[in-house]
Amino acid sequence: MTGQDTADRGWDETRPTAKLLLADGTLIEGEGLGAEGIAAGELCFNTAMTGYEEILTDPSYAGQIITFTFPHIGNVGVNDDDVETVNISASSGVRGAVFAADVTSPSNWRATRGLDEWLKARGIVAITGVDTRALTALIREKGMPNAVIGYAAAGAPDDAALKAELEAFPGLEGEDLVPMVGATQRYGWDEGGWGWPGQDQPGVYGVRPDGAPKRVVAIDYGLKRNILRLLTAAGCEVTVLPATATADEVLALKPDGVFLSNGPGDPAATGVYAVPMIQGVLDSGTPTFGICLGHQMLALAVGATTAKMHQGHHGANHPVKDLITGKVEIVSMNHGFAVDRDSLPATARETHVSLFDGSNCGLELTDRPAFSVQHHPEASPGPQDSHYLFKRFVDMMDGARAGD
């Protein structure tokens, strides 16, 4: 941030305008950015070097404050194409953001505005000038703490107000956050894969497949836009239903396949109403594919359990091994809960594992056409190593059609 920017905002450089207070009493001071106010959430870190706009609009981050380990955030500005919430005017649910370096004016031909203005519009409180590497080390050692972030342009936020907000925050365990970010009504989707201006929209594996489109019902626990894009690019006709949809409502649309989306919060809490629907879909023999929270929902539906992770997985550089192909992929991840592999029934086979900590990252059912992964094959941001999973879903639906 330039000296002129600072003067324009009326900042007094002798005192901080933002604070970050952790549950253990650690207090970090810096300069405020984005929306003024106070917001509490679970503090995590993300190690991606690109894609800050996609990260800040990923609905799976609802209820969290994100620490970016990469120091230069905001340098390419923002634009509507990179927003991952399906409704670009809606809040993603992320509570706050922590940056190391001052945010400069955008320097990119795709930028439509700067990060500060964009954060304000989306109600996201941010702080700059923080040693994010040290903060990341603290999270790695002690786990993801509850925290509160505050910004007051006229002066530092009140410590008592910060403490009160932090004490009122319940944490993420036991919390169903899907209603914050999921769809409330049915809608259709026809936007295909993103391409550079002047290019045709790419398919997941070459061109859009010939023949009749596969009818896919996507259950919205906090859908990312690029998932819908890639389903459409793979030749799917997508209808999105809210997370509260029943099995009868899903099956009434006569889908060739059902997709279970990513989303935030404690999977066990969401599973109270989501699991019965999934069990009904599985019993019908309809091919099913889940990502992130959708993976956890599928596991819960077959009797497995989930558990809170120490520091979670958040970044675009995570190595995962596909036990079916034997290949190691670098993938995008964003989750703070994981499926307990020891709780998987005999009819659920583990298909992917994290090479960072050995945690479960995928499963497939041996008695019904269903599979899921913990990571994000749609990336955005991140590498495209796992795009083939969308083809696997299409092939599964083709196989089910052939068997009819």
Q: Pairing mode, if any, of strands 348-354 and 360-365?
A: antiparallel
Decide if 43 contacts 139 (C-beta within 8 A): yes
Round to whole Å and give the CA distance between 100 and 111.
Answer: 21
- Count of CB atoms situated within 10 Å of the CB of 362: 26
Round to whole Å and give the CA distance between 164 and 251.
Answer: 47
Sheet with 360-365, strands from edge to edge, namely 187-189, 236-242, 214-220, 257-260, 288-291, 370-373, 360-365, 348-354, 306-322, 328-339
User: What radius of gyration, in Å, describes the C-alpha atoms of the chain?
Assistant: 21
- Residues identified as active-site: 292, 376, 378
Decide if 35 contacts 12 (C-beta within 8 A): no
Please name which of 166, 139, 6, 120 lies closest in space to residue 69, comparing C-alpha atoms.
139
